[in-house]
Amino acid sequence: MPKGVNAVTGKGNNFKDRTGQVFGQLTAETYVGNYMWKVRCVCGTQLTVDIRNLVAGRTVSCGCQRFVNLKGTMFGHLKPYEHVVGSLHSMWRCRCSCGNIITVRAENLVSGKTKSCGCTRPKHGHTKNGKSTGTYRSYYAMLQRCTNPNTKYWNNVSVCKRWQGKNGFIHFLADMGPRPKGTTNGRYLDTGDYKPSNCKWMTKVEQVEEARNKRLRKRIQNDKRRVCSK
């Protein structure tokens, strides 16, 4: 029996009831003697831990999350200042360089996935409060048509790199301009990749004409092949 511990209760002379106290991802539930407490992790796992390791911060979870102290470290524009207790993921409250406060998963900070509160994203004014302009809807539909095989409009053509990524819509808007009423994004001869030199805002009549020209060109090419093969 350690010195200063009551042989009957197993509690030291300076025993402090820690029941319900939270240490990182662990909540103290029952004292079992000799400085040991039964604790429960946020993931549901129960384990027995030395209270001295809990208080010192050496043990903060059952091991389901390896705690890394990110406090004060800059990640892009974000500076973590408080670890959020009780989440199933390691979360940090961060202050952005613009002054905003947001809560971010530790893994997103470390990986670089989240670098700001969103204040650094290009502002184009074409999406607001869950609504978007016709120009942005056409841009989004183009990306879906070319990059998402699960969409019913999938046609297995490509979008130029300039119109993709973080500044993709900014470049698209600069090249195409705002979408005029009654038009959609059309390709010349209704073929080829989506790129500045092959696209324009077209009316339905213009798109039908481009599709007709496409069929006509294909017919001419087939005729030439037949003549050459004779």
- 221 shares a domain with 139: yes
Q: Which of 90, 117, 144 is the last residue of a domain?
A: 117
CB 197 within 8 A of CB 180: no
Q: Please indicate, yes or no, if residue 124 is contained in any of the structural domains.
A: no
- Which sign, positive or negative, has the C-alpha torsion 127, 130, 133, 138? positive
pLDDT of 100: 87
Q: Please indicate, yes or no, if residue 103 is contained in any of the structural domains.
A: yes
- 211 shares a domain with 146: yes
Measured distance CA(34)–CA(53) in Å, rounded: 13
Other CB atoms within 10 Å distance of the CB of residue 175: 15
pLDDT of 154: 80
pLDDT of 5: 47
- 210 shares a domain with 139: yes
- 225 shares a domain with 136: yes
Q: Please indicate, yes or no, if residue 127 is contained in any of the structural domains.
A: no
Measured distance CA(51)–CA(42) in Å, rounded: 18
CB 162 within 8 A of CB 194: no
pLDDT of 176: 93
Structural domain count of the chain:
3
Closest by CA position to 24, among listed 69, 71, 76, 61: 61
pLDDT of 229: 61
pLDDT of 66: 63
Q: Please indicate, yes or no, if residue 221 is contained in any of the structural domains.
A: yes
CB 92 within 8 A of CB 82: yes
Q: Which of 66, 83, 100 is the last residue of a domain?
A: 66
pLDDT of 222: 65
- 22 shares a domain with 90: no
Domain hosting residue 58, numbered range: 1-66
CB 208 within 8 A of CB 226: no
pLDDT of 88: 54
Unique residue bearing structure tokens 């290009």: 122
Six-digit token string for 70: 């990110």
Q: Please indicate, yes or no, if residue 47 is contained in any of the structural domains.
A: yes
- Tens-digit pLDDT profile for residues 36-93: 999 988 777 888 999 998 888 878 777 666 667 888 999 988 999 998 865 556 788 9
- 103 shares a domain with 163: no
- 186 shares a domain with 150: yes
User: Which pTM does this prediction carry?
Assistant: 0.47
- 55 shares a domain with 91: no
pLDDT of 135: 93
Mean pLDDT, each 10-residue run in order, the chain (230 residues): 45 76 88 90 84 85 72 90 73 87 85 79 69 90 85 84 89 93 90 92 90 75 60
pLDDT of 184: 93
Q: Which of 48, 66, 84 is the last residue of a domain?
A: 66
Q: Please indicate, yes or no, if residue 137 is contained in any of the structural domains.
A: yes
CB 185 within 8 A of CB 178: no
pLDDT of 225: 63
For the residues of the chain, what is the DSSP string, one character each? --TTB-TTT--BTT----TT-EETTEEEEEEEETTEEEEEETTS-EEEEEHHHHHHTS--SSSSS-----TT--BTTEEEEEEETT-SS-EEEEEETTS-EEEEEHHHHHHTS--SSSTTS---SSEETTEE-HHHHHHHHHHHHHH-TTSTT-----B-GGGSSTTHHHHHHHHH-SPPTTEEEEEGGG-S-BSGGGEEEEEHHHHHHHHHHHHHHHHHHHHHHHHHH-
Instruction: Return left, alpha or beta for 118; rule: phi > 0 is left, psi -120 to 50 is alpha, else beta.
Output: left
